[in-house]
Amino acid sequence: MSYASIDALQRMLADTVFSYASDRKKAAGRALGTLVETVTFYALRTWGLSDNVVIERRVPEFANPIIHHNVEFSLHPVRRRHEVDVSEIAPPVTAAKIRRQLPFLSGEKLKPVQVLTSNGIKRNAAVLVERDVGPVVANIDIARDRAVVCELATQPFAIVECKRVGVEEGMKKGPQTIEKAKQGAYVARSVSSLQKVRLRSGQFHGFVEKEDGSLRTGPYAEVLRELIEQDEPTGVPDFILTVGVVSNHGNWFTSDNPNKELRVLSQSYDWLLFLTDAGLAEFIDGLLLDPPVELTPVGDAFRASYTGKKGVNRFTKVRIDARADLLLRRWFREHRRDVERWFNVISPRESLATLRADLWRLAEKRVSDQ
């Protein structure tokens, strides 16, 4: 099955999965936003960044910690990595139970977090402990009966934000969407030590204060490249690569036909990706609504999440059915090339492979940090 547009898909979802809601189109739209986040999250994981990701955490503005912003995903250097055998742990798998195998956590004040609940819901990037040097994060892998526990650095090297940006059905122009775009743009432009300044030519210049107080300026792309490639880990502190992921919600623009919202975002994030209508539809139809038999637990988890009852969602970026998580990870890994085609790069004029390489380079070079 294929859909002419995301609008058609949203209408269909509103009439089926969300028929219980008082405003079912709104509920369907809300859920589409959750799915964009899910696709992005699993794409990051197939890129080998599972250990680095934390979800919905506060990131301070650069040199202005009075103001911070919740960001969808932030990617942090791994200071130390541990693996724990959880085969002997009876669910729920909690921070307290994991600690028994991790002496370095003794004496720490644990969060009351369940990494795996007794009804089979996995918590992605569960924060076990919050320490001055950074969070300790756990991810359980039910296929291997292991939990990977990573001590992360406080300062992220990259952030990823997901947004659906467009107009309502039947409207010619979206009123609230430009505000959302500007909010995202504000965050993107205030968290990193690398500042973006417009010159009279219309080009962007990069501006960054190095650790010794000297300034490095130059064409933005050039300075950005230099910061990513540089070898000394602490040459420029607090540099954060910013990545935005947007999707359509009206049959109204494409990545080749940008409107104002898209322009605002693409000049604000270092990278702006566009999750295509076709990609999102392929995910929803092929994995959730009409999945092959081996993926039925995925669709089941999705539908079980939207019943009108509170507290039963098992299909979000944070809490997901453990079996569905396993199948999604496998599917995304096996279909990595297809998934990468779901994303168009809006800016810069580079390939997705470059972004992946850059994220890897940033992740690795700061591992030894501290």
Partner DNA sequence: CAATCCGTTGGGGACATAAA
Partner DNA sequence: TTTATGTCCCCAACGGATTG
Q: What residue ranges bind DNA (CB under 7 A)? A: 10, 21-23, 25-34, 36, 55-56, 69-70, 72, 92, 94, 96-97, 111-114, 117-118, 127, 161, 163-164, 166, 168-169, 172-173, 175-176, 178-180, 183, 249, 260, 305-306, 311, 313, 315-316, 318-319
Residue 279 exposure: Cα atoms within 13 Å on the Cβ side? 27
The four Cα atoms 305, 71, 355, 181 give a dihedral, to 10 degrees, of 90
Q: How far is CA 125 from the centre of its chain?
A: 11
The candidate with the shortest Cα–Cα distance to 140, out of 122, 117, 156, 163, is 122
Question: Can you name the residues that pair with 215 across neighbouring β-strands?
Answer: 209
84, 102 contact by CB (below 8 A): yes
In our burial notation (b when 16+ CB lie closer than 10 A, e otherwise), range 179-211 reads ebbeebbebbbbbbbbbbeeeeeeebbbbbbee
- The nearer residue to DNA, 12 or 221, going by C-beta atoms, is 12
Query: Using CA atoms, how far apart are residues 54 and 36, in angstroms rounded to an integer?
Result: 17
Question: Can you name the residues that pair with 134 across neighbouring β-strands?
Answer: 131
The candidate with the shortest Cα–Cα distance to 74, out of 329, 317, 339, is 317
CA angle, residues 33, 136, 160, in degrees to nearest 5: 30
The candidate with the shortest Cα–Cα distance to 217, out of 197, 202, 191, is 197
Lookup: tokens for 246: 């947007």
Lookup: tokens for 340: 């990468």
